[in-house]
Structures are given as structure tokens and as C-alpha cells.
Amino acid sequence: MRIVHIANFYGPSSGGIKTTLHALGSGYQKYGHEFIYIVPGTQFNDEITQFGRKISMPSVILPGSGSYRVMRSNAAVKKLLLELAPDRLEISDRFTLRSLGNWAKAHGIPTVVFSHETLRGLVKRFMPFGIGQRTLVNWHNRALAKKFDHVIATTDFAAQEFREIGVRNLVKVPLGVDLHNFSPENRSEALRRDLLKGNKLLIVHCGRLSPEKEPQRSIETLIELRKRGIDARLVIIGMGPMWKSMRELASGHPIDLLGYIANPRQVAAILASADATLAPGPLETFCLSALESIASGTPVVASASSAVGEFLALRDVVPAGAVARDDEVSFADAVTEVLLNKKMRSAARSAAEALPWEATILAMMRLHQIETLGEKAPSATTRRRLKAA
């Protein structure tokens, strides 16, 4: 089976999208299927990677996104797809790649589209005084669902806006977490001392520094904690359009901005060595960095309005973290609660173990109606039809 996944906003410093594509590719290949992922690049490039065949298409930088790229021409992508002749097509951009749904239907290729974001939340944030917000969101979501065979939501939070309008081809497929590379065993007391620089408690924020993720809340929370006499230091991992304003806000406080860290082992060690991590984004539909934190045995404090609470086992006697209202006082209260409960570290790892990537891969293969150890015979018809097109 040849599975092709097309995604914009993939790049050297991208987080969740890149992690998801790499995990899917590794999983599909494990079961004997071919995986090709098409992503934006500075020029056309075709290479074989451990995750599958990677094809980079000429692209442009999206203004104000902090280096995110979008492929220049969907027509060029469709021409490439004719040559690749996929048996299944996956899309990770509900906005710029929507037209590929109709194209795939015309060529008899089964499709899925991942809804990685909440359109309702984005519209509310960036069009706060707009008229007919709900009508606009509902129209877009209905149109999206008609173009693709399945719409994939990774959490109940992401699925809600589709469920409310009765979308029948909605499927919930939780993403997974790398339980091997992100582990409590990565905790390093030496690294912890280096990061603390004499302070007592280590708080980490790991994520893209962009407005919709509200990373400034982490800085505000650190300042509030210190007002309460809690000797904490904040370490921020990530880049984005708010980098400069974040540096200015952090000035004069025990806060270090480390930028984007390309080495996942280093990120894993930092997460495992922290006392708590923060996920303040109110629109997060999954937040892989929060999952990587709990896989590392470090509890998370997240926005109560996001999806992160869904995998923190909040109803358990000992949860994997806490959620808070979207203000620094509530976040500081939640961080204090987490710091006082040392049992949360083991609870965090246990919660992460319920979401292995293997479960995601098997769910996707069931959705694609493909077998785990080979290709079903009817799938070859798609390739013959495309060659004749």
C-alpha cells in the first residue's frame, strides 16, 4: 500500500506536524507499507529518509508566522500525485490544501484530512468582532467534511465543532507519544543544576512562540510564583514570531530562552529534569510537547480551555498535572498544587503510557482499511487508473 501525506507548515523548527509525519511514516513502514510525505521546502527535493520518501516542494514563507512555509502551487502538487499514484491520501492542512479532496475523489483515491486546530477558537481569537462567526465556522467545517472521506480529530476538544453540526465522517484518532525517547530515565541532576543556576525549582515551557499559544502566560506565571516566595526558574524551549517580545518580557527575571533545540534527546533530558511544565495555549487540540512531558515523568499545568486536560487523567486520585484558567494567578495556583504532590511524577508517566504511537498507527490502518502485514488486492486499481489519467 502506498500512502501519501501532504502537509504545509512543516520545517526544520516545526514541532507537532513534523513529529506526527515522522511517527506515521515509521509506523506504516513497520507494517510493510510505503510512505511518502510531501512538504514545503526552499526548492524541489526528493530524498529517502528513515521515515519514508520525503519530497520537498518550492514554497513561500507565510508572513508573520515565524518562518512557516506553504507550498506555492497546488497544481504542481496534483501533477506530482499523478506520478506517485497513491493508494491513500492524507492531508494535514484544512485551509490551503482543501482542493486536494475533490481532486482525489475525481481520481478514486480514499482520503483523510487531519483537523489539527480548532477553527472556532482561531476565529474567536483573530476575528473577535466579526459577525456570524459560528455561521462561518460551520460552513467551513461542512465544506471540509464533504471534500474528504474522513475528518480526523485527535481529541474530543477538536471534534466538538464537527459533532455539533452532525458531521458523519468524523473519526477521533488520538496521536501518540514516543515512550522510548521521552522517559523519566532521562532525568539528569547535573543538567538540572546547570539549568537552575542556583534557583530551587525548574519550570519548563516547550512550544512555538506564537500569539495563539499565549507563551507570555508562562513568563507571567513565573513572575507570580516568585512574588509568592517560590524560588523557581523558567526555561523556555522554542522559537516563533513572539521571540523578541518574549525576551523583553523575560528581562530581569530568572528566565532563559533557549530557542529551538534540534536534538530531541536534549529536549527529553530537559523535560525529565523539570519539576513541572507549562502548556498555556488555550486553543491546543492535542499538544505533543505536553505529552512528551508526562512521558518524561514531569506533570503539566495547562489551560483549562484546551484539550490537554483530556490526557492528564484529571479524575484520578493522583492526576498527571492540573489545568487552570487563562491568567497567571490561576496558573500559579495550579503549579503550586503540582509541586506539592510528588506522586504526580509517576502518575504522569502512567497517563502517557495509555497513548503509544502504535495505537495511533493501528487506528489509522483500520481507517484506511489496510492490513497490518500487507496490501489488500483491490488497492492496485487506483494506481492503474492514475497511470491512464
Judgement on whether residues 67 and 159 belong to the same structural domain of the protein: yes
Judgement on whether residues 283 and 151 belong to the same structural domain of the protein: no
Percent of the chain scored above 70 by pLDDT? 93
pLDDT at 61 over 90: no
Joined together, the cell numbers standing for residue 289 give 510537547
Judgement on whether residues 361 and 345 belong to the same structural domain of the protein: no
User: Domain range for residue 80?
Assistant: 2-176+356-388
Which SS3 state, helix, strand or coil, does residue 236 take? strand
pLDDT, residue 133, reads 82
CA distance 179 to 345: 15
Its pTM surpasses 0.75: yes
Phi, psi of 273 (to 5 degrees): -90, -5
Judgement on whether residues 20 and 98 belong to the same structural domain of the protein: yes
C-alpha dist (Å) from residue 40 to 6, 7, 9, 28, 35: 9, 8, 7, 22, 17
Judgement on whether residues 112 and 210 belong to the same structural domain of the protein: no
CATH code of 166's domain: 3.40.50.2000
Judgement on whether residues 225 and 172 belong to the same structural domain of the protein: no
Judgement on whether residues 171 and 271 belong to the same structural domain of the protein: no
pLDDT at 386 over 80: no
End-to-end Cα separation, the chain, in angstroms: 20
pLDDT in tens, 125-167: 777 666 678 888 899 999 999 999 999 999 999 999 999 999 9
CA distance 338 to 257: 23
pLDDT, residue 128, reads 66
Judgement on whether residues 217 and 316 belong to the same structural domain of the protein: yes
Helix (H), strand (E) at residue 55: strand 52-61
pLDDT, residue 66, reads 63
Q: Return all residues near 89 (Cβ < 8 A) that are at least 6 apart.
A: 3, 4, 5, 6, 81, 100, 104, 109, 110, 111, 112
C-alpha dist (Å) from residue 57 to 64, 70, 74, 206: 21, 9, 10, 29
Domain count, the chain: 2
pLDDT in tens, 297-338: 999 999 999 999 999 999 999 999 999 999 999 999 999 999
Judgement on whether residues 256 and 316 belong to the same structural domain of the protein: yes
Judgement on whether residues 95 and 194 belong to the same structural domain of the protein: no
Judgement on whether residues 149 and 226 belong to the same structural domain of the protein: no
Rounded to 10°, the helix 243-250/216-227 angle is: 10
Judgement on whether residues 168 and 232 belong to the same structural domain of the protein: no
